[in-house]
Amino acid sequence: MSERRPFHRPQPRHWWAHKPYLAYTVRELSGVAVAVYGAILLAGLICLWRGPEAYAVYRRILSSDAAFAVHLVLLAAMLWHVLTWFQILPKTMPKLILRGRPVPQRQVTAIALLVAMVCSAALLVVVVAIGVTS
């Protein structure tokens, strides 16, 4: 007679709050920060659409200390999101083979980060230039 009686151990309930999974949890939460910032921008657009008074209220709220603090936190989360996004990038693409050898994943991340920084800086220059000339 078989004595088989496999025991099913449950997954730890708070696995996401412990190492090594905590980094993953923080990475995913930084995505929520990106969504929140998107919602703030969308609210600005809606206020702009509703008229000058609504937009003035939106600008007054944004110039408060609390809004400044929130934006600092969102900026930090956004930067973390960018960094971790490009850390995952090489995991999501086929191996790059150059001269018969796979390109190291760290190199893919570094190049993508560099491109993102150059694009962000260029965008900033364009926005400032438009602001100065208008």
Partner 1 sequence: MSDATIPSKSIELRVLRYRPASDREPVLVSYRVAYSDDMSVLQALQSIKDTQDGSLSFRWSCRMAVCGSCGMMINGEPKLACNTFVRDLAPDAVIIEPLQNFPIERDLVVTVGDFVKKIESIYPYIIPKVAKPVEDGAHLQTPAQMAAYESFSDCINCMLCYAACPQFGANPDFIGPGAMALLQRYNGDSRDGGRQFRLDQIHGEDGVWACTAVGICSEVCPKQVDPANAVNQNKTNSALDFFLHYVQPRSQP
Number of residues interacting with partner 1: please give it, by CB under 8 A: 26
Q: Please give the Cα distance from 132 to 16 (Å, whole number).
A: 47
Q: Please give the Cα distance from 115 to 31 (Å, whole number).
A: 20
For position 69 contacting partner 1 by CB under 8 A, the verdict is: no
Per-residue binding string, partner 1, 74-103, x by CB under 8 A, is --------------x-xxxxxx-x-xxxx-
Contact range with partner 1 by CB under 8 A, out of 12-20, 32-40, 65-73, 117-125: 12-20
Single residue of 17, 28, 67, 125 touching partner 1 by CB under 8 A:
28
Q: Please give the Cα distance from 41 to 48 (Å, whole number).
A: 11
Element (H, E) at 2: none
Shortest spacing between CB 13 and partner 1, in angstroms = 11
Residue reference for tokens 């956004």: 78
